[in-house]
Every structure is written in structure tokens, then in C-alpha cells.
A = this chain, B = another copy of it.
Amino acid sequence: MGKVTIKDIAREAGVSISTVSNALNGVNVLKPETREHILEVADRLHYIPNLNGRNLKSKATKAIGLFVTSLKGPYFATLADIMVWECMKYGYELNIFVFWEGKSAITNILGKRVDGCVVLAADIDEKGVQQIQDFEVPTVFLDRELKSDKISSVIFDSYKDGETVAEFLIERNIKRICFIQGILNNYDAIERFRGFRERLAKADIPLDPEYVLEGAFEREKAYNAVKAFLEKGLPLPEAFFAANDLSAIGCMDALLEAGYQIPKDTVVVGVDDIDFCEWYNPKLTTVKTGYEKQGVVAIKKLVKMISGEEKGDITKLHGRLIERQSTAITE
């Protein structure tokens, strides 16, 4: 069996387990030749330390847990990848746990005693949040606004992102606008819509309820919604704003299929800046949310909370509009 322990090494090397532990942890109190001998034996026996044993005694695990309810979605991989590298910088390891309903999941994850948690779980309930708070492990939430001594949030300023798109359209004197909603109870979707709507209202541009469609952040749903909308024969909107890029793509699919030209007949704007924006024809104008920065900021913040240098706070990241072909109106 591959279950070699320090006890086995101690026996084989003819020393005590304390000496083995010292040798392995680089505590500089051993004779170099003893140390080297032990390391040689450990290597020969294919020793791999049992982290359960180690973490039981020493409080620090040097691991950060990333809680998610889903691995899907266009930017999860990018975000998680950034966090992996950021963790490495600070000497931490990122472990990803997929989280589903039921308290056992939270229990399992907190039970591992990671040094800190990053939570990206829009659909986690209040009880779950409470459990995390009670456990008092430093935590960063990525999709809800919470703050306490050991809890921070690093979220998008989605309200402002919505405003940004509104201003972009207002500047171009566009008035008849169709909005494609995201997931209805999603924080970002709600804020994006609110910012957009309120900024339009300030410019006296009303948003007709018939011009608000359901997209649910999915390409297919948005495609169907826009297709159904077009068949109603209402006046074609001068612009479509979709709550994320996937639904913007579905929207464009439906428009192109119906024979409309983008941006000649109508313009389209999305949110996220996923890779496909550059690959689609026409290339999609979108709000690049701060999600790449989010990973960096979240880990930095978490590490500082773990070390006790900083207390929890709230960081809001605003996006930046990237103009591409889908809004390239030739005057």
C-alpha cells in the first residue's frame, strides 16, 4: 500500500518521528547529514504526507475553498483560473467545491477547514449564508453584498453598467429600445436593468413593457424570445440591449435569420465580453464587466483577511463598454 507514514520513515532511517518531522519541514536544527538521509529515505519509500493529520494539529491549511453552485457559464473558467494563479502567488492552493442544496454541502466544505472561502453561488439560501457567517471563516462573496469583520464582497457595479449602456444609446439619439432580461432573481440582472431603465427615464425615454423580453442569460431563450417578438410585427427597435452576451448572441441569431442587418437595421449590445464576442459576425459590442479583476481582488482581499491585516469590506467593480461592429453605425 502506498500509505507510508513518518513512522515508517523513522523506523527505516533509525531515528524518531520528531526528527523525521523536523527534517521534512526544514527546521534547521538537524545535522545536515541526518536531514539528507531522512529525505533520501522518504523519497525512496514514496512518502506523501497525510494532510488530514497535518491540518488536524496545525490550524493553517494554506488552502482556499471556492464554493460554486455550477461550473457552467461563460466566464466561470476564466475567473477560477485567475484565482488559481492569484492563490499561488500568495502561497495558497485553490480547491473548488461544487455546492448543491442541502446543508450537508456547506458542512462538508467548511468541515475541511480551509483558511478562507470564496463564494459564487447566487442561488444559495439565507440559511446557508448564515452558516458561513456563524463559522467565522474569512469569506469573500462574489455575487451578493455582505460585510462584517470576516466577510467581504467583491461585486459588479451592475447598476452603473446598465447606466453606461443607456448613456451610449442616448448619445446616439436612439429611442426605441428592446431590453432582454437575465435571470429574474439574479442580483446583477436586476441591477443592470434598474440602472439602464432609470438612466433612460432621466432622459425621458420610456421602456415599453412589450419591449422587455425574457432571456434568462441563455442563448436559446433569448433567441426564442426575440423570434416571437419579431413575429408580432411591432416597429423594429433601433437597439437591443441584452443582459449578457449569450442572450445577445441569441438575439442576433434571430435578427439575422429574419433578414435584418446588424448594425444597419438595428444595433445590439451585450454584457460580459466573452470570447465569442470577437468571433461572431458581426463582432458584438459589449460591456466588459470587471470579472477578470474580480478574481484578483477577491483573493487579495481574502488573504489579507486571513492574515488579519484587513477587515471585511465591499468592493464594486464597474465595467467598460467595448465598441465593436454590432453598433458601428455609419452616419
Interface residues of A (CB under 8 A from B): 1-2, 46, 48-56, 70-73, 76-78, 80-81, 84, 88, 93-98, 100, 107-108, 110-113, 131, 134-137, 219, 249, 253, 256, 275-276, 279-281
Contact = CB atoms under 8 A, between A and B. Distances in A.
A279 B275 CA distance: 13
B98 A97 contact: no
A107 B48 contact: yes
Contact of A111 (B49, B88, B281): B49
Given A52-B113, A111-B51, A77 B78 contact: no
A280 B279 CA distance: 8
**Residue of A94, A111, A253 contacting most chain B CB atoms (<10 Å):** A111
| Identical copies in the complex | 2
B70 A249 contact: no
A77 B81 contact: no
Contacts of A73: 77
Identify which of A51, A56, A135 gathers the most chain B CB atoms within 10 Å of its CB: A51
A68 to B, nearest CB: 10
B56 A50 contact: yes
A122 B244 CA distance: 33
A111 B48 contact: yes
Given A52-B112, A95-B97, 16 more contacts: A1-B136, A2-B134, A46-B135, A48-B107, A48-B111, A48-B135, A50-B56, A51-B113, A54-B111, A71-B77, A72-B81, A76-B77, A77-B77, A95-B95, A219-B279, A280-B281
